[in-house]
Amino acid sequence: MRFLILAITFGFVYDQVFYHHDFSLIIQDFHDRMNNKAFLIALLVVLLMMLLNWGVEAMKWKYLIRKIEHISLLTSFKATLTGVAVSSFTPNRIGDYLGRVFILEKGNRIQGVLITIIGSVSQFLITFILGSLGIAFFVFQYKVPISEYLGISLRLFDFLYAGLGIVTVSLYVLSILLFLNVSLITGLIRKIVKKPRGKAAKYLETFTFYTPRELINVLLFSALRFFFFSLQFYILLRVFNVPVPLWNGLIIIAMIFFVVTVVPTVAITELGIRGSIAVFLLNTYFEHEYMSLSGIAPGAFAASSSLWLINLAIPALMGAIFVFNLKFFRKK
């Protein structure tokens, strides 16, 4: 099983890099810039931030999983990268849950999966909130051309925008309240099932492990991760000569992550989707700003591809090595 996971991970990454996307231009671009000190420093910063990004995720998982087993930060980091490896070839990264919990020595693995899902939901919430806020800022900034394109008056546009804003903010509040009171899931299922017994009752208890304060800390971990990979993306955009200002760049990046998160994909195929979305949104921005589009598309795709390579492909290959630490069967 371990060798199979290793082979599939390496195979998928190799196929994605060398057959499904033309990396030759990006590699040539890297080669041409290797004598540029600013480029090398920026690349080093992005690589270090990749370690910070997954390091924060490891800290979050360690913080969550301590309810069933105390593990070191190093073990959590290995489990996190193993999850990246297994999730790279599974739909919507569901393999992440299994890739992590098989590193546990004592903790119940099904409870571990449920706990990992809580961590993933926190990341989804942060991405959903910040991404939709990015869309709201973007639409408001260009409401005149958008209203003209839709063929409606600016007054009607403002009315619809305000109404949608109220609905969205209400959804934010409801989602956060539900997440902070995740124990309500246990109470709801108990009412439906009446008296769950045995293992089912034990698994239901998982959702009562955390206080609202602890779940706020989990959201803060997720927000810090979002900050790191957004900043990585922005640095790469500037490195590849996409002259988008910081504020507008962060708005567009939040929109890109929002779409990538919402659209069902296999992690390994996000490269093409993320690159296409980045090119479309950046082109739209520069068109509205009446700026020249020369070199924007190649630069946007190069930045997106580089981020995928640094944040997903490299950690997946590292995590594939750690599959030998997985314990599929425990000694009684």
DSSP string, 191-230: HHHSS--HHHHHHHGGGGS--HHHHHHHHHHHHHHHHHHH
Q: What is the pLDDT of residues 129-158, one digit of tens each?
A: 999 998 888 888 878 777 877 788 888 888
Q: What is the pLDDT of residues 273-291, one digit of tens each?
A: 666 677 777 777 776 654 5
Q: What is the pLDDT of residues 43-92, one digit of tens each?
A: 899 999 999 999 999 999 999 999 988 999 998 998 898 888 877 766 66
Q: What is the pLDDT of residues 245-274, one digit of tens each?
A: 888 889 889 988 888 777 655 444 455 566
As a whole number of angstroms, the distance between CA 198 and CA 270 comes to 40
Q: For residue 64, what pLDDT is reported?
A: 93
Q: For residue 268, what pLDDT is reported?
A: 44
Q: What is the mean pLDDT of residues 89-103?
A: 74
Highest-scoring range by mean pLDDT, 3-17, 92-106, 283-297: 92-106
Q: For residue 3, what pLDDT is reported?
A: 52
As a whole number of angstroms, the distance between CA 180 and CA 178 comes to 6
As a whole number of angstroms, the distance between CA 317 and CA 12 comes to 10
**Does pLDDT of 96 surpass 60?**
yes
| Percent with pLDDT over 70 in the chain | 75
User: Closest Cα to residue 229, out of 268, 257, 264, 265?
Assistant: 257
Q: What is the largest CA-CA distance in the chain?
A: 71
Find how far residue 332's CA is from the centre of its chain.
37
Q: For residue 194, what pLDDT is reported?
A: 63
DSSP string, 103-137: T-SSS-HHHHHHHHHHHHHHHHHHHHHHHHHHHHH
Residue the block writes with tokens 């009607």: 156
Residue 10 confidence class, pLDDT cut points 50, 70, 90: very low
**Does pLDDT of 307 surpass 50?**
yes
Residue 106 confidence class, pLDDT cut points 50, 70, 90: confident
